[in-house]
Amino acid sequence: MADVTDGASLAVGGFGLSGVPDVLIRALYGRGVGGLSVVSNNCGALESGLAVLLAAGRIARVTGSYIGANEEFARQYLAGELEVELIPQGTLAERLRAGGAGIPAFYTPAGVGTQVAEGGLPWRYDGSGGVALASPAKEVREFDGTEYVLERGIRTDYALVRAAKGDRHGNLVFNKSARNFNPLAAMAGRVTVAEVEELVEPGALDPDAVHLPGVFVQRVVVLSPEQAADKRIERRTVSG
């Protein structure tokens, strides 16, 4: 994280509290950088993940799909302290994948006939209930009688992800639901940093089991056993 500077853009893996690169996020927090533009499904929860940076006022813009139970996220957004681009979840996933695959833009039916396509979604409030900055209209085109909206691929300066296993070449394996936005976020970063719970030697991973090839990963950080075991549950439920 040493070369991440103020104003950098980050694609961050994770969904809720699953597969979140908490150690890398806290390392970034310790460096004191701010004005960050973050692309992530959500912005942390329960004072963990990106919520650490958010609460410290280090994030200037969020591109994501879900505010959820993050009250500080909602407060900053409505107070005009934070710029937020909310987009459909599947569109977010494909924009990250497209950016990593070198695809500048694509057409999707998601959002046609709504403010997603027509513009006017509040990106930033003025703190008094008014809209200071709204989303622009997007190109809509018809294919075979169906309308589609043009969405651009996403590329970021850095990507932060968490994997269950990885080797020194950056080949990664994710554990169950932690294989959510992590591979997609990793693809979108120009410099991708992966924290791995278990580091293995090159060749130890079955090629058929690799979820993300090392071509997308530039740096690998192995976690301590304590860091790897530190996993939180957002909502604990018990069935009778």
Same domain, 127 and 227: no
**pLDDT at position 234:** 67
- Tokens (6 digits) for 87: 């987009």
Phi/psi of residue 68, nearest 5 degrees: 65, -140
Across-strand partners of 86?
Answer: 64
Same-domain pairing of 57 and 161: yes
Rounded CA gap, 132 and 141, in Å?
Answer: 29
- Strand-pair category, 9-12 with 156-167: parallel
Pair 96, 188 in one domain = yes
Residue 101 has φ and ψ, to the nearest 5°, of -90, 0
Q: Is residue 239 part of a domain?
A: no
Burial status of residue 77 (CB atoms within 10 A of its CB: 0-12, 13-18, 19 or more): buried
What CATH number should be reported for the domain holding residue 210? 3.40.1080.10
Cα 224 to Cα 217: distance, rounded to the nearest angstrom: 20
Q: Are residues 39 and 130 in the same domain?
A: no
Considering its fold, how many domains does the chain have in total? 2
The answer to whether residues 13 and 96 belong to one domain is yes
Q: b/e per residue, 40-59, with b = 16+ CB within 10 A?
A: bbbbbbeebbbbbbbbeebb
Could you tell me if 62 and 47 lie in one domain?
Answer: yes
Long-range contacts from 51-58, C-beta under 8 angstroms, 24+ separation: 52/25, 52/26, 53/25, 53/28, 53/29, 54/82, 56/29, 57/81, 58/29, 58/33, 58/34
Judge contact between 73 and 101, C-beta under 8 A. no
| Tens of each residue's pLDDT in the chain, 240 residues | 999 999 999 999 998 888 999 999 999 999 999 999 999 999 987 678 999 999 999 999 999 998 877 899 999 999 999 999 999 999 999 999 999 999 999 999 999 999 999 999 999 999 998 999 999 999 999 999 999 999 999 999 999 999 999 999 999 999 998 899 999 999 999 999 999 999 999 999 999 999 999 999 999 999 988 888 777 766 777 876
Measured between alpha carbons, how far is 2 from 30 in angstroms, rounded to an integer?
Answer: 10
Number of neighbouring beta carbons within 10 Å of residue 8: 18
Token pair 């950080």 in the structure block, residue: 221
Residues 74 and 19 placed together within one structural domain of the fold: yes
| Boundaries of domain holding 34 | 1-104+153-232
240 occurs within a structural domain: no
**Residues in Cβ contact with 153 at an 8 Å cutoff, skipping those fewer than 6 apart:** 95, 96, 98, 99, 100, 101, 103, 104, 105, 106, 188
Instruction: Tell me the whole-structure pTM to 2 decimals.
Output: 0.92
